[in-house]
Amino acid sequence: FVSFANALSHHSHLRAPPKTLLHAPRNTSSRTSKGFRFFQQANAPRPPFHLSPTMLFPGRVAVVTGANKGIGFNIALQLAQCPITNHVLLACRSPTLGASAVAHLQSLLPPSSTTTLSTHPLTLGDPASHAALAAHLEATYGKLDVLVNNAAFAYKAADPTPFAAQCKPTLDVNFRGTVELTETLLPLLRKGDDPRVVSVASMAGRLKQLSPALQARFAAADLTLSVLQSLVDEYEAAVLAGTHKSLGWGSSNYGLSKLAVIAAMRVWAREEAG
């Protein structure tokens, strides 16, 4: 994760289709802070950021979903510390936690920093919430340069919810929600300067969790989003029927959701190649 800012730092004065990075591994237990260094600054909080809706924001704008804590918070910090990032928006489910995270980030930046920060509500998996975020970005900045899909959902290991009942909520947020949000924001990304899309995935999303036949379908060079969505629907139906293992599927709803996100990134990388 140390390389996040470097991976997003290349820029150009020419506008181009968004570039996608396949994924960055997530480890929900041990890597939420590893690789990051924090230096508390005693500088006073900066005034809130304001921009007239009639103006086109002149600098690079980054959005990080699920950025109020953990990996998302640290990605937002690294982007804010990157000299070519001009504004970082923390898209968080809780407005209160988002505002608190913005204040914390501001305290970690040196007084000389010119990067501005803001937050906006986002419930991943809710199309109305996705549209509201897109409308805010359009009205305030007119574009988007960096999207980091970090927000995700996972049941705790000790959760008593049956495996089949965990399937749809996990897929709806991690895969379907991420795809719908990214598709909603792609028109704004296409207006950005050398735009980038990064999706935080997981080692749980390995291809080998599937049978060879299913691996081939997910890894197909001509895979489309519609076919991928059908594959995910197929997995969900098999889980509900209790036949997923016999049909060659894995036994992790979270792992399948992350595998599908990685596959979606491959599709966007191909379709949006400039």
Amino acid at 91: A
In the three-class reduction of DSSP (H, G, I as helix; E, B as strand; rest coil), residue 197 is classed as: strand
Supply angle C-alpha 106, 111, 113, rounded to 5.
Answer: 75
Residues pairing with 184 in the sheet: none
Q: Are 131 and 103 in contact (CB under 8 A)?
A: no
Pairing of strands 116-121, 146-149: unpaired
Q: Could you give the residue ranges of the DSSP H alpha helices within the chain?
A: 4-7, 70-81, 95-108, 127-140, 163-171, 178-189, 212-218, 225-241, 253-271
Q: How far apart are CA 27 and CA 109, in angstroms?
A: 26
**155 catalytically annotated:** no
Amino acid at 69: K
Q: How far apart are CA 223 and CA 238, in angstroms?
A: 21
Residues taking part in catalysis: 254
